[in-house]
C-alpha cells in the first residue's frame, strides 16, 4: 500500500547524494506508507462498525431466551398464528379465518388464549367494522427471530400464506404443486 507521496519520496531517497536528505526522504516515505495503510484500515473499520450497528438486534440474549421459553408454552397452532400475524401486518379476523385449515372455533380459542396473555392484542376498527390483530410490540422483533424459520413437528402450517412458502420446510410425503407460466405440474422433489 502506498499513498500518493510514498513513491516519489522513496525515489528521491534513492537518488539524493546527501545522507541526511536520504534518511529524511526514506523516513517520510515510510511515514506516508504507514499513514495510508492506517487510513485504509480506518475506512474499513468504520464500514464494519456501521454494518454491525445496522444488524444489531434491539434486544439481548436473555430476552431471546425468555421469548423462546414463552413460545414453548403455546401449541403449534398458536405459534403458526403468531407467524401469520407477524408476516401480515395487522390482518383482520376474516383474513385469519380464510387462510387457515382449522375450524372457526379453534381459531377463536387460539386468538382468545393469546389475547389473555397479551401477546396478540386486538384492534377494533369501528369505522370499517373489522377487528385486526397484531403481535405485541414488546415481543415483535424477538418473535421474528425465534419463530422463523419454521421448525415444527407438524409438517404443514395451520395458516396458509404465500409469505410462508419460502420459509417452510416441506415433507417428502406430501408433494407440493408448482405453477409455471403456461402449465401446472406437481413436484415430488423434497428440499
**H-state helical runs in 60-127:** 61-72, 76-87, 93-98, 104-116
Domain boundaries of the chain, sorted by first residue: 6-55, 61-164
DSSP state of 169: P
| pLDDT tens-digit profile, the chain (191 residues) | 567 888 888 888 888 989 999 999 899 999 999 999 999 999 999 999 888 888 777 778 888 888 889 999 999 889 989 989 988 888 988 888 888 888 889 999 999 999 998 999 998 888 888 889 999 888 888 888 888 888 887 777 888 765 555 445 555 555 555 554 444 455 555 54
- pTM of the full predicted structure? 0.57
Helix (H, G, I), strand (E, B) or coil at 27: helix
Query: Per CATH, which fold does 61-164 belong to?
Result: Arc Repressor Mutant, subunit A (1.10.10)
Whether the Cβ atoms of residue 71 and residue 139 lie closer than 8 Å to each other: no
Q: Could you count the other beta carbons within 10 Å of the beta carbon of residue 51?
A: 10
Amino acid at each position: 500500500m502506498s499513498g500518493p507521496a510514498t513513491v516519489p519520496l522513496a525515489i528521491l531517497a534513492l537518488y539524493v547524494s546527501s545522507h541526511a536528505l536520504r534518511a529524511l526522504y526514506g523516513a517520510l516515505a515510510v511515514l506516508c506508507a504507514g499513514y495510508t495503510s492506517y487510513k485504509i484500515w480506518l475506512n474499513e473499520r468504520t464500514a464494519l462498525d456501521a454494518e454491525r450497528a445496522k444488524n444489531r438486534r434491539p434486544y439481548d440474549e436473555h430476552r431471546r431466551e425468555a421469548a423462546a421459553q414463552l413460545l414453548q408454552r403455546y401449541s403449534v397452532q398458536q405459534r403458526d398464528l403468531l407467524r401469520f400475524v407477524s408476516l401480515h401486518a395487522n390482518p383482520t379476523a376474516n383474513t385469519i379465518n380464510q387462510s387457515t385449515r382449522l375450524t372457526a372455533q379453534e381459531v377463536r380459542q387460539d386468538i382468545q388464549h393469546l389475547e389473555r396473555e397479551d401477546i396478540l392484542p386486538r384492534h377494533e376498527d369501528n369505522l370499517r367494522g373489522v377487528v385486526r390483530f397484531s403481535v405485541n410490540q414488546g415481543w415483535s422483533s424477538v418473535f421474528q427471530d425465534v419463530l422463523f424459520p419454521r421448525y415444527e413437528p407438524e409438517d404443514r402450517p395451520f395458516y396458509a400464506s404465500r409469505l410462508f412458502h419460502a420459509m417452510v420446510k416441506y415433507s417428502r410425503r406430501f408433494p407440493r404443486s408448482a405453477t409455471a407460466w403456461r402449465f401446472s405440474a406437481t413436484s415430488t422433489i423434497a428440499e
